[in-house]
Amino acid sequence: MIVCSCNVLSDEHIRASVQGEAGAGTPGAVYRCLGCSPKCGRCLATVRSIMSEALEQAATRCDSHCAGCPRGTSELP
C-alpha cells in the first residue's frame, strides 16, 4: 500500500527501513534511509504507526527456532 504519495513510499519500504541493519528509529530517519524527505507531512501519522507495528513485531520474533516457541517462527532452519 502506498503510504506517502509525495515520495511513492509503501508500507513495505517503511517496514524494511525499520527492520534493516540501520534500524531507522524516527520518521525522519526512515525518509533519509529511503533517500527522500517528507514533503506535505500528511503521511507522518501513518508512518509512525507502521514503524510502531514493525518494531513490535521485531521485538516478539523468535530467532532461535525452538520447537513450540510461542513467540514467533515455527519454521525450522
pLDDT of residue 42: 95
pLDDT, mean over the chain: 80
**Residue 10 forms beta bridges with which residues?**
2
Copy the grid coordinates of residue 62.
Answer: 523468535
Model confidence over 21-53: pLDDT tens digits?
Answer: 667 788 998 999 899 999 999 999 999 999 999
Q: What percentage of the chain carries pLDDT values higher than 90? A: 48
pTM: 0.71
C-alpha atoms less than 13 angstroms from C-alpha of 25 in its C-beta half-sphere: 1
Helix (H, G, I), strand (E, B) or coil at 19: helix
More confident site: 59 or 50: 50
A 10 A CB-CB count for 33 gives: 18
